[in-house]
Amino acid sequence: MKHLRHLIPTTPVVVALLWIAGCAALAQETAKPRNKQPASGPDILESAPTNTSEPRPTAEGKPLPNRDEVMRKQRQYLEQRYDLSGRTHPTIRMSGGRKPIPVGPTARLPQGVTWESLGQMSPEEIRQKKIFPYTPLWHPLQEVGGMVFPPVQTKVVDGLERVDVGFDLPDAYLPEFPPALFVTNRPDLGDVSKGQLITLQNFETLFQDVLTPFQMEGMRLLLQKTTAQRHNLTLDRSTAKPVEGVSCLDCHVNGHTTGQFHLTPDVRPQSERFRLDTTSLRGVFAQTRFGSKRTLRSLEQFVQTEENSAYFDGDISLAERKGARHFTDREQMAMGHMQNIIDFPPAPKLDIQGKLDRTKATESEVRGEAVFNKHCASCHPAPFYTDNLAHDLRVERFYNHVGSTPMGAKGRAEGPIKTFTLRGIKDSPPYLHDGRLLTLEDTVEFFNLVLQSRMSQQEKADLVEFLRVL
């Protein structure tokens, strides 16, 4: 716990005590085994969800976690880790042109530690001193998990808000809502969503002259709600009222993302499951593997996987009761066709090889590209800025979790993760599979440590300039 105190600029003791109390309460809450059945009669057993630590919004079963309390604790956890003041860039905006990009680094450093001094330390030293600023980010309700949608969306889309947990990161660190949509078959049109949130009500009008009938069918299916573990019509849900469910584009809004997250379905135990930030579908046509871990090789296959895993947290035993939909081959193909034409946003400063066009670039961007080529291009090569592989960054070299996690996780080696593309990267904060890096400056500080690059302040600043033009 010692290091945590240094992270807090004011009233350190009080906040540290609250934090300890919070950890203890959560630990107690989660000490129960995941599949323990409630000690009651057989009808409850019959209708009990497989995971009885899940909330039941109705009178039967376990009481719901107190949402305000959950969110208060999460806010405290985030405030300890980050400066959430929401600083943004004065002129650079995301591709839809409405939202400024956030500026960092946001991660807080312990007193007496600077980014320069940290950059000179070995992973071992950082681990021993417990000062790594980029440990995994936890789901605000790690014990339960499930899909969580940001307020900017729940305000305008019914049925996505949960009663047990809310969204935790401030809006400044999320993509523009709604994001722009660019398609490969009509680059001349620019943003084909015309600044609107694409819905079942407006998609036909919007895309009459843009999509083929088969792509149109794919778009319709991507917009159609289907029931999910916590968004459904049964009593075992986390929404106040029964709801139809969640659509693919509720998360991949307009083919991009607005930072919706859930927990990875395929890693157990619960304490070690990763928070997963929704990836953009921009440029999936240029990628050969899908999912940070699953490395599925076709979009059609991913459609089916997403239905099982994102929707039912990998627990398909209850899917039938909750009304899961299983896409036919033809439906999967239509959805695949549609996803395959979602383009990256335009990058006017890149040439046809995806490299910086020297006639358009600033001096800082040119220097930034050189820094990038030295440290980053081996895994993120132009033109798409991904090698289409997965790499193990072995981030666990830098930390040791004991005492700092909501469920007492002992530190999780994350293993290989997909090299996400960096095209259009300024449009998709927060970064990394779990969104623990809130700004591009944070990604540069993170990789400076992970790669032990020992970059100068000037090199880091230039690298950020370069990432903004991709």
Q: Residues 141-160: x/- map of binding to ligand HEC (CB under 6 A)?
A: ------x-------------
Binding range to ligand HEC, per CB under 6 A, among 35-43, 52-60, 204-212, 248-256: 248-256
* Residue 324 in the binding site for ligand HEC (CB under 6 A): no
The strand ranges marked E within 54-130 are: 88-93, 100-102
Beta carbon nearer to ligand HEC, 76 or 298: 298
Helix (H) / strand (E) containing 366: helix 363-375
Distance CA 433, CA 136 (A): 9
Helix residue ranges per DSSP H, 111-182: 115-119, 123-129, 151-154
Please identify, using beta-carbon distances, which residue of 61 and 133 lies nearer to ligand HEC: 133
Beta carbons of 111 and 10 less than 8 angstroms apart: no
**By C-beta, is 308 or 400 nearer to ligand HEC?**
308
Cβ proximity to ligand HEC, 48 vs 444, nearer residue: 444
Beta carbon nearer to ligand HEC, 19 or 182: 182
Record the tokens describing residue 169, joined without a space: 């990161």
The whole-angstrom separation of Cα 415 and Cα 440 is: 23
For the bound state, the minimum distance from the C-beta of residue 189 to ligand HEC, rounded and expressed in Å, comes to 23
Decide: is 439 part of the binding site for ligand HEC (CB under 6 A). no
Exposure class string for 306-337: b at 16+ Cβ within 10 A, else e: bbbbbbbbbeeebbeebebeebeeebbbbbbb
Residue 350 binds to ligand HEC (criterion: CB under 6 A): no
Asked if 438 is part of the footprint of ligand HEC (rule: CB under 6 A), the reply reads no
The piece of 2-10, 74-82, 181-189, 426-434 that touches ligand HEC (CB under 6 A) is 426-434
Question: What is the rounded CA–CA span in Å between residue 225 and residue 249?
Answer: 9
Q: How far is the CB of 368 from ligand HEC (least distance, A)?
A: 9
- Least distance between ligand HEC and beta carbon 284 (Å): 6
Does position 333 interact with ligand HEC (CB under 6 A)? The reply is no
Cis upstream peptide for 269 (omega within 30°): yes
- 252 binds ligand HEC, rule: CB under 6 A: yes
Q: Which of 303, 324, 333, 469: binder of ligand HEC (CB under 6 A)? A: 303
Query: Minimum distance between the CB of residue 47 and ligand HEC, rounded to whole angstroms?
Result: 25
Is residue 134 a contact partner of residue 436, using CB atoms and an 8 Å limit?
Answer: yes
Nearer to ligand HEC, 307 or 365 (CB): 307
* Site residues (CB under 6 A) for ligand HEC, limited to 216-245: none
Is 63 buried (19+), middle (13-18) or exposed (0-12) by CB count in 10 A?
exposed
**Closest by alpha carbon to 428, among 345, 372, 347?**
345
Task: Decide: is 425 part of the binding site for ligand HEC (CB under 6 A).
Answer: yes
Q: Does 428 bind ligand HEC (CB under 6 A)?
A: yes
Question: Is 384 one of the binding residues for ligand HEC (CB under 6 A)?
Answer: no
CA pair distance 187, 97, nearest whole angstrom:
17
Type and span of the H or E element at 373: helix 363-375
DSSP letters along 230-247, please?
A: SSSSSSS-SSSS----B-
Among residues 152 and 417, whose Cβ is nearest to ligand HEC? 417
Scan residues 390-409 and list those touching ligand HEC (CB under 6 A): 391, 393
Choose one: 61-69, 132-140, 150-158, 425-433; the region binding ligand HEC (CB under 6 A): 425-433
Asked whether 87 and 102 are in contact (CB, 8 A), the reply is yes
Distance of closest approach, residue 116 Cβ to ligand HEC, in angstroms:
16
Instruction: State yes or no: residue 365 binds ligand HEC (CB under 6 A).
Output: no
Cα 390 to Cα 447: distance, rounded to the nearest angstrom = 16
186 class by beta-carbon count within 10 Å (0-12 exposed, 13-18 middle, 19+ buried): middle
Binding part of the chain for ligand HEC, among 133-141, 155-163, 286-294, 344-352 by CB under 6 A, reads 286-294
Size of the site for ligand HEC (CB under 6 A): 48
By CB under 6 A, residue 276 contacts ligand HEC: yes
The answer to whether 260 contacts ligand HEC (rule: CB under 6 A) is yes
Q: How far is CA 87 from CA 115, 173, 380, in A?
A: 19, 9, 27
Given 191, 250, 331, 462, the residue binding ligand HEC (CB under 6 A): 250
Kindly indicate which of the ranges 133-141, 170-178, 207-215, 285-293 contains the residues binding ligand HEC, using the contact rule CB under 6 A.
Answer: 285-293
Rounded Cα distance between 78 and 402, Å, is 18
Nearest to 158 by CA among 189, 185, 197: 197
Q: Where do contacts with ligand HEC occur on this chain (CB under 6 A)?
A: 147, 246, 248, 250-252, 260, 262, 276, 278-279, 281, 284, 290-294, 299, 302-303, 306-307, 310, 335, 339, 375-376, 378-380, 391, 393, 417-420, 422, 425, 428, 431-433, 443-444, 447, 451, 463
